[in-house]
């Protein structure tokens, strides 16, 4: 009798555990409106639904996610999470579970997925360089060291995919851009562009896959590489944009992610200045500067480019501002809460999701009225990534 009760009790506990386990059942649905929110302090991510504005799963055990970023498989079912501690994790969005995980380096900063979706590349700080993995198995395919001419290893930043099955990346310490042609993944062809400037801190590629642009920390300026040329030559743009002005201490590095472009105008963060820089994409000349609340971290255009949204570095990081790209004026100032770390637009741009680290919340705003539509609890949220990135060059 006792035995039977005990057995039934255990069965009940087991069933309860299965029922409550988020990975017990996989969802049968599309993933086009899903995404991932990084919870930086707890080594976890939430899988979110941008239509229902709800959280579907929480996936844990992903290591140090300070400065984590994400790319998606081309079927948009899997998210590849690049952790600070060198962990590369592949997450199944439909099942809400960790599919595979490898520790590929001591310290890493970002990653990219190849044009054909078969290769995932990770850029590393320790040891410097880029490692390339099979997107399905996470088996290592190639190792691209980042040694300068003296044999010193360099931290690698600004890693993106480019058309022609290429990866483009920048060597922070060496001041160099490299293009790795991965057409034959076992025999990569690497092209080097030396002496681009001091301390390139991040880079981006335009959605057409043509222009690779690296921002410099050690100098006021950016470097453009035209990937459509047979023999590209690095070109300095917005050189000395801070001329005559005192550069402020930078408490958080800006990020050159995505591409804030509206018509011919391109919007970029000024390093060490309370300004957003505007550049003409035909002439690559400065087309204006917009005074803003603080030092910009992310400068992101809504899909379509009607508005540009900006968040700011510590200690002015409680604010988000919206710039009208026609008048170049700030038209809205929002106060989502303390430590706004990232913004991500829902597909087609009807809403923007904003992570507010110190308030442990993600706030969702209507991009027309700027009103808050909903909010979701999250533990120290940082990066937000939606699956429509799966089909865009450089994201």
Give the number of other Cβ atoms within 10 Å of residue 271's Cβ.
26
Select 49 or 379, whichever has its Cβ closest to another protein. 379
Q: Which is nearer to another protein, 96 or 197 (CB)?
A: 197
Contacts of residue 270, defined as CB under 8 A and 6 or more positions apart, other chains included, come to: 241, 242, 276, 277, 289, 295, 296
Q: How many residues bind another protein (CB under 8 A)?
A: 30
Residues 6+ apart with CB under 8 A from 36: 45, 46, 47, 48, 70, 79, 81, 91, 93, 384, 385
For another protein, which is the closer residue by CB, 107 or 165? 107
Q: Is 261 in the site for another protein (CB under 8 A)?
A: no
- Of the pair 127, 305, the CB lying nearest another protein is at 127
Among 53, 252, 293, 306, the residue binding another protein under the rule CB under 8 A is: 252
Is 259 a binding residue for another protein by CB under 8 A? The answer is no
Residue from 322, 339, 343, 354 touching another protein (CB under 8 A): that is: 339
List binders of another protein among 172-231 (CB under 8 A).
172, 199, 201, 217-218
User: In what order do the strands lie in the sheet containing 54-59?
Assistant: 54-59, 44-49, 34-39, 381-386
Across 136-285, the runs of DSSP E, i.e. the strands, are 140-144, 156-162, 166-171, 176-181, 189-193, 200-205, 211-216, 222-226, 235-237, 260-262, 265-269, 275-280
Specify the stretch interacting with another protein by CB under 8 A; choose among 17-25, 45-53, 70-78, 247-255: 247-255
How many of the other CB atoms lie within 10 Å of CB of 112? Answer: 28
Q: Does 155 bind another protein (CB under 8 A)?
A: yes
In eight-state DSSP terms, residue 151 is: S
Q: Which stretch binds another protein (CB under 8 A): 5-13, 60-68, 298-306, 387-395?
A: 60-68
CB-nearer residue toward another protein: 142 or 146: 146
Q: Do 31 and 56 form a contact (C-beta atoms < 8 A)? A: no
Q: How many residues does the chain have?
A: 395
Among 72, 82, 125, 365, binds another protein (CB under 8 A): 125
Secondary element (H or E) of residue 383: strand 381-386
- The pattern of x and - marking residues 84 through 113 that bind another protein according to CB under 8 A reads xx--------------------xx-x----
Range in contact with another protein (rule: CB under 8 A) among 65-73, 127-135, 284-292, 342-350: 65-73
Three-point CA angle 291, 292, 294, nearest 5°: 125
* Residue 356 near residue 337 (C-beta atoms within 8 A): yes
Binding site for another protein (CB under 8 A): 40-41, 64-67, 84-85, 106-107, 109, 125-126, 155, 172, 199, 201, 217-218, 249-253, 314-315, 339, 357-358, 380
């Amino acid at each position: 009798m006792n035995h039977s009760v005990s057995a039934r009790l255990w069965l009940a506990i087991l069933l309860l555990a299965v029922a409550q386990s988020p990975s017990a059942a996989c969802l049968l649905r599309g993933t086009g409106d899903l995404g991932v929110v990084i919870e930086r302090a707890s080594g976890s991510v939430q899988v979110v639904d941008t239509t229902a504005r709800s959280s579907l799963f929480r996936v844990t055990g992903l290591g140090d996610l300070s400065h984590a970023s994400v790319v998606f498989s081309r079927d948009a079912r899997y998210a590849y999470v690049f952790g600070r501690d060198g962990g590369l994790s592949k997450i199944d969005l439909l099942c809400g579970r960790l599919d595979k995980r490898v520790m590929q380096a001591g310290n890493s900063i970002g990653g990219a997925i190849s044009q054909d979706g078969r290769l995932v590349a990770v850029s590393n700080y320790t040891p410097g360089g880029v490692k390339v993995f099979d997107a399905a198995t996470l088996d290592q395919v190639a190792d691209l060291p980042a040694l300068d001419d003296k044999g010193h290893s360099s931290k690698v930043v600004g890693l993106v995919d480019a058309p022609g099955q290429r990866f483009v990346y920048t060597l922070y310490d060496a001041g160099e851009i490299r293009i790795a042609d991965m057409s034959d993944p076992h025999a990569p062809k690497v092209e080097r562009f030396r002496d681009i400037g001091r301390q390139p801190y991040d880079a981006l590629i335009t959605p057409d896959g043509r222009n690779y642009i690296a921002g410099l920390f050690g100098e006021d300026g950016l470097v453009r590489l035209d990937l459509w040329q047979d023999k590209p030559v690095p070109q300095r743009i917005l050189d000395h944009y801070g001329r005559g002005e005192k550069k402020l201490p930078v408490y958080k590095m800006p990020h050159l992610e995505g591409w804030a472009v509206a018509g011919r105008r391109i919007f970029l963060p000024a390093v060490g200045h309370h300004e957003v820089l505007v550049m003409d994409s035909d002439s690559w000349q400065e087309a204006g500067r917009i005074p803003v609340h603080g030092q910009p971290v992310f400068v992101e255009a809504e899909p379509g480019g009607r508005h540009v949204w900006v968040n700011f570095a510590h200690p002015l990081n409680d604010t988000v501002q919206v710039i009208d790209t026609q008048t170049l004026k700030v038209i809205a100032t929002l106060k989502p809460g303390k430590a706004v770390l990232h913004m991500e637009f829902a597909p087609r741009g009807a809403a923007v999701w904003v992570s507010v680290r110190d308030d442990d919340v993600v706030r969702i705003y209507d991009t027309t009225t700027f009103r808050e539509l909903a909010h979701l609890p999250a533990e120290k949220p940082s990066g937000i990534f939606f699956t429509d990135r799966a089909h865009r060059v450089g994201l």
